[in-house]
Amino acid sequence: MRFAWLTMLVLVAPWSMAIAQNAPPMIQLRVGSHPIEAELAATPATRDKGLMNRTVLPDKRGMLFVFPDERPYCMWMHNTTIPLSVAFIDSRGAITKIAEMHPGSDDYYCSDKPVRYALEMNQGWFLKKGVTPGARIRNIDKAPPGR
């Protein structure tokens, strides 16, 4: 029996390490009383890929895009199959605009003001939670700088 457990451990350990190495970096955010687990997209490659080709996004999960500087930015839904809402957020953590984005669209969804972040969640998430422009995202200052 001990040999079976040891064999299983030897077989499973490399696989679990590979999964951990491929797991995206995460940040724990909060808006009001609502927790958010957000994948970080702080490099050009991760921002370009975003949530493309995903088929599901768990309810409290999202993706935080971290930009290298504060200016107006645009998002799009190319190769994205999940309907999403995006909150554009300034460097102080205040939401400046929320837009509803449609799957597979090549339309641009742009901030109206300079922003440092964009947070994508399932479509309607912000509305369902009563989150509106002006709300502050807590812990966003813990995000790594965008490159």
Confidence of residue 19 (pLDDT cuts 50, 70, 90): very low
Query: For the chain, which residues make up each domain, given as ranges?
Result: 25-142
Closest by Cα among 93, 113, 91, 85 to 32: 93
Fold for the domain defined by 25-142: Jelly Rolls (2.60.120)
Starting at the edge strand that comes first in sequence, how are the strands of the sheet with 84-89 ordered?
A: 95-101, 84-89, 115-122, 61-71, 34-41, 26-31, 137-138
- Which pair of structure tokens corresponds to residue 121? 């969640």
- Which pair of structure tokens corresponds to residue 108? 């641009």
104-115: per-residue pLDDT in tens?
A: 899 999 999 999
Q: Cβ distance 143 to 66 under 8 Å?
A: yes
Instruction: Output the pLDDT for position 17.
Output: 43
The model's pTM is 0.85
